[in-house]
Structure 1
Amino acid sequence: MKQAEVTMVRVYITEGDHQLRKLLDFLHNEEQVRGVTAFRGIAGFGRSGRAHEASLLDISMDLPLVIEFFDSPDRVEKVLQDLNQWVEPGYVVNWTAQVNMGE
Structure 2
Amino acid sequence: MSTKPVTMVRIYLTEGTHQYQQILALLHDQEQVAGVTAFRGITGFGRSGKIHSSSLLDMSLDLPMILEFFDEPAKVEIVLNHLNSLIKPGHIVSWPANVNSGE
Tell me if both proteins adopt one fold, taking TM over 0.5 as the criterion. yes
Do the aligned residues in 2 keep the contact of 1:8 with 1:94 (CA within 8 Å)?
yes
Return the letter of the residue paired with 2:9: V
For residue 95 of structure 1, what is the aligned residue in structure 2? 95
Q: What is the RMSD computed on CA atoms of the aligned residues?
A: 0.9
Residues 6-50 of structure 1: CA distance to partner in whole angstroms, max 9, x if unpaired?
000000011121101100000000000011000000000011101
Using the TM superposition, give the Cα deviation of residue 57 of structure 1 relative to its aligned residue in structure 2, in angstroms: 2.5
Flag structure 1 segments of 5+ consecutive residues without an equivalent: none
Using the TM superposition, give the Cα deviation of residue 59 of structure 1 relative to its aligned residue in structure 2, in angstroms: 3.1
User: Structure 2 length normalisation: TM-score?
Assistant: 0.96
For residue 43 of structure 1, what is the aligned residue in structure 2? 43
Flag structure 2 segments of 5+ consecutive residues without an equivalent: none
1:80 aligns with 2:80: yes
Distance, in Å, in 2 between the alignment partners of 1:90 and 1:73 is 20
User: Structure 1 length normalisation: TM-score?
Assistant: 0.96
- Size of the aligned set, in residue pairs, is 103
* SS of alignment partner, residue 102 of structure 1: coil
Distance, in Å, in 2 between the alignment partners of 1:5 and 1:50 is 37
Do the aligned residues in 2 keep the contact of 1:53 with 1:60 (CA within 8 Å)?
no
* SS of alignment partner, residue 81 of structure 1: helix
Do the aligned residues in 2 keep the contact of 1:10 with 1:94 (CA within 8 Å)?
yes
Q: Which contiguous aligned blocks of 4+ residues in structure 1 show a shift greater than 3 angstroms?
A: none
1:62 aligns with 2:62: yes
